[in-house]
Amino acid sequence: MDPAEQLYEANRQDQNDVEEIAGRTGWKPGNIAKVKHHLFIEIHLLDSYEALGVAPVMARFDADRSIAESWLRLKTGAFTEFDLQLLRHETAEAWRMRKHGPSHRRAHAAAMKRFPAPKELWS
């Protein structure tokens, strides 16, 4: 299994991370739980490459090592502004998908306007 996918699976199985992250960041546990569910558990309409001829699929997000490591930093309290920016972006994206439909492409674009994802994820 890919190392990033191993980290994602460990995050899926972790029963203590939500409370630990909430305690270290000051965020409400319910909000952290929504982000965890959005990033690691939920099935999404992945439609970002539709304009390139790639058919949309319903699937979990691909494992991203930067995101998995960010989650670990949040859990241990060694988080950075990058990690908080990621939380803000993913919160906005998840909210948008719940309220306005499952399109990840549209939710990501809307979230980027107010809470841009860390640039390091896209370089």
**Model pLDDT for residues 25-34, shown as the tens digit of each residue:** 999 999 999 9
In terms of C-beta density within 10 A (0-12 exposed, 13-18 middle, 19 or more buried), how is residue 4 classed?
middle
Give the span between the Cα atoms of 62 and 80, in whole angstroms.
Answer: 23
**Joined tokens for residue 87:** 């939380």
The DSSP result for 48-73, as a single string, is: TTGGGTPPPEEEPPPP-HHHHHHHHH
Amino acid (1-letter code) at residue 12 = R
> Is pLDDT above 60 for 123?
no
Domain count, the chain: 1
> Is pLDDT above 70 for 103?
yes
> Is pLDDT above 80 for 122?
no
The boundaries of the domain holding residue 33 are: 3-121
